[in-house]
Chains A and B, each alone.
Chain A
Amino acid sequence: MDLDELYQEVILDHYKRPRGAGLREPYEGESHQVNPTCGDEITLRVHVKGDRVADVSYENVGCSISKASASVLYELVHDTTVDDALARLAEFTELMNSKGQSDGDEETLEDAVAFAGVSKYPMRVKCALLGWMAFKDALVRAEAETGGSRP
């Protein structure tokens, strides 16, 4: 097994210095997700302003993969359009399901391509996706809250 591939510098860096961590106001949607096999948890909030994701804030307990993934998620989706955020969500999910067959597109996924190696470890894919599941759910809730007014 190639540990360096799993625990890339980028991942360890996001783990040790998580970006955008902490829960902030205002927000329209909040989601709490738990990984029942290991007890990892995240609470994640989304603040939507018009067609933009104005902020994503979160609090989590978990392993390096799940924490780094939430940090990378923050960097990718805060202050972008909802459509772009959803596209990153789809791309990242696809990368995680690639079983090591994809390198990911660095143009769009940026630091998140460091997770390509994680996709070879089925036990860890769930860790990497936990924050993204929370983001997806929080976004749905935010849209319900704001009456789904997005065009």
Chain B
Amino acid sequence: MEAVSKLDVEAIRADFPILQRRIGDKPLAYLDSAATSQKPVQVVDAMRRFTDHSNANISRSVHTLGAEATEAYEGARARVAAFIGAPSADEVVFTKNSTEAINLLAYAFQNAALDPHADPRFRLAPGDEIVVTEMEHHANLIPWQQLALRTGATLKWIGITDHGRLDLEAVPEVITERTKLVSFTHVANLLGTVNPTSQITARAREVGALVGLDASQSVPHIPVNVADLGVDFIAFTGHKMLGPTGIGVLWAKADLLDAMPPFLTGGSMIKTVTMEKTTFAEAPAKFEAGTPPIAEAVGLAAAVDYLDALGMENVRAHEKELAGYMLERLESVDGLTVIGPRVPIGRGATVSFTFADIHPHDVGQILDAEGIAVRVGHHCAKPTCDRFGVNATTRASGYVYNTHEEIDRLVAALAQVRKVFG
């Protein structure tokens, strides 16, 4: 492996109290960050400071706390915008998670379909096409299935090669003049594949389709710059990037947010209201009905600060190195088959595998007894499982705090699994 970790992993680990935990009498080896990451003290402290010191509702009160809370919340928005290279903080909409961000977008299309005056880019009708891929998390599949069902549009997808990559050769065929939206995952949560985006965005531009990216597994792990990517929307989620649960982000270009009908309606998203009629606030407020997750936004900003201090290029290099080690060690285990790319190129440190014909539930249970936390199951990506003819996989996923020693423990524990079920 030429990539060398540029992270001081021991120093990082000291910021994560949970990593000191023991499971029974074994030290915890947390290899499930693709499901949710752990939080450093900096994030928890920032949320606690806000709650203890400045807690109030935002944009509603003239008192000092209200002003501080508003400043903290809007400051978090600006912080997140800068992190992803968004030209304006107003392009960042806070949501509950990625799932809600993607639904917000899907419902913009659905609501536009019901409104003859809506922006034509968002108006879907029978004959129009929506394109996804076969490697989506259900969060970036089911909203589009539902939208197609309700508007009469057709859902199409780009397939997966045997090596766990997108079948890019099919792109010109799948994305056509009828395509109005292409929404695809940047990094696949089951396979670990990092998808190249330029070919898809170029084809989408050619046919005049909008492009959305499910960045849930990319923003935490690799540098993401929305201007460089040249996409129209991205969605990501706080809890996978060292931040708290309960907060996610939809980023969209300003003119698109302007054109999109709101998803949830109610307080905080209006300009004027009478008993008959309402006009909406400008984005992002238009999409943030009700009291938002304020302390969570503060926590997310602290997580972004933490990642920025590490440097996302360093995070990527660390994980590339970790991925290489995981693949090398796991593939040395007899009977283990990696599902997804088998070389540490164009992939992250998320590795799914099957092990002989031992069910992943059983694998996960024995690993847990050794203190090793992995995810087992279909990982909310059933079509990917079907593509590879498996019902479920075991998935180990690494992040900034993971070490070679933890991978070694995983491999050793697999021998234990073999002993019980072999």
Which residues of A come within 8 Å of B, CB atoms?
1, 3, 6-7, 12, 37-41, 61-66, 121, 124, 127
Instruction: Identify which of A3, A63, A65 gathers the most chain B CB atoms within 10 Å of its CB.
Output: A63
Is B382 in the interface zone, CB < 8 Å from A? yes
Please determine whether B360 and A38 come into contact, CB atoms closer than 8 angstroms: yes
- Segment from B3-11, B197-205, B364-372 that makes contact with A: B364-372
Smallest CB–CB gap between A35 and chain B, Å?
A: 9
Known: A1-B24, A63-B359. A39 touches B420 (CB 8 A): no
Please determine whether B378 and A39 come into contact, CB atoms closer than 8 angstroms: yes
Given contacts A3-B366, A37-B377, 15 further A-B contacts (CB under 8 A): A1-B23, A1-B369, A3-B369, A7-B365, A12-B421, A38-B360, A39-B392, A40-B359, A62-B361, A63-B360, A64-B359, A65-B362, A121-B365, A124-B365, A127-B361
Is B376 in the interface zone, CB < 8 Å from A? yes
Is B130 in the interface zone, CB < 8 Å from A? no
Q: Which of B23, B24, B361, B366 contacts A38 (CB 8 A)?
A: B361
CA distance A66 to B377 in the complex (A): 14
Residues of A within 8 A of B385 (CB): 39
Known: A1-B23, A3-B366, A62-B359. A40 touches B391 (CB 8 A): yes
Known: A1-B24, A12-B420, A38-B376. A61 touches B391 (CB 8 A): yes
Smallest CB–CB gap between A109 and chain B, Å?
A: 23
Please determine whether B420 and A7 come into contact, CB atoms closer than 8 angstroms: yes
CA distance A66 to B376 in the complex (A): 15
Known: A1-B24, A7-B420, A64-B359. A41 touches B391 (CB 8 A): yes
Q: Which of A6, A12, A40 contacts B365 (CB 8 A)?
A: A6
The count of chain B contact residues (Cβ–Cβ below 8 Å) is 19
Residues of B within 8 A of A3 (CB): 365-366, 369, 420
Would you give 5 A-B contacts (Cβ < 8 Å), ordered by A?
Answer: A1-B24, A40-B361, A40-B391, A40-B392, A63-B360
Smallest CB–CB gap between A24 and chain B, Å?
A: 23
Q: Which of A6, A38, A65 contacts B392 (CB 8 A)?
A: A38
Residues of B within 8 A of A38 (CB): 360-361, 376-378, 391-392
**Cβ-closest chain A residue relative to B365:** A6
Smallest CB–CB gap between B422 and chain A, Å?
A: 10
CA distance A127 to B360 in the complex (A): 12
Please determine whether B377 and A1 come into contact, CB atoms closer than 8 angstroms: no
CA distance A7 to B366 in the complex (A): 10
CA distance A7 to B359 in the complex (A): 14
B368-393 contact mask (Cβ, 8 Å, vs A): 1 or 0: 11000000111000100100000110
Smallest CB–CB gap between A143 and chain B, Å?
A: 31
Residues of A within 8 A of B359 (CB): 40, 62-64
Smallest CB–CB gap between A38 and chain B, Å?
A: 4
Residues of A within 8 A of B369 (CB): 1, 3
Instruction: Identify which of B360, B369, B382 gathers the most chain A CB atoms within 10 Å of its CB.
Output: B369
CA distance A64 to B368 in the complex (A): 16
Residues of A within 8 A of B368 (CB): 1
**Cβ-closest chain A residue relative to B366:** A3
B19-68 contacts to A, CB under 8 A, are: 23-24
Please determine whether A39 and B391 come into contact, CB atoms closer than 8 angstroms: yes
Residues of B within 8 A of A62 (CB): 359, 361
**Cβ-closest chain B residue relative to A37:** B377
Please determine whether B391 and A64 come into contact, CB atoms closer than 8 angstroms: no
CA distance A30 to B420 in the complex (A): 33
Please determine whether B24 and A124 come into contact, CB atoms closer than 8 angstroms: no
Smallest CB–CB gap between B83 and chain A, Å?
A: 33
Smallest CB–CB gap between B88 and chain A, Å?
A: 40
CA distance A62 to B361 in the complex (A): 8
CA distance A7 to B421 in the complex (A): 10
Residues of B within 8 A of A65 (CB): 361-362
**Cβ-closest chain B residue relative to A127:** B361
**Cβ-closest chain A residue relative to B23:** A1
CA distance A6 to B364 in the complex (A): 13
Known: A1-B24, A64-B359, A64-B421. A39 touches B365 (CB 8 A): no
Residues of A within 8 A of B376 (CB): 38
Residues of A within 8 A of B420 (CB): 3, 7, 12
In the A-B complex, the 8 residue pairs with the closest CB atoms:
A63-B361, A63-B359, A38-B377, A39-B378, A39-B391, A3-B369, A64-B362, A1-B369
CA distance A41 to B362 in the complex (A): 15
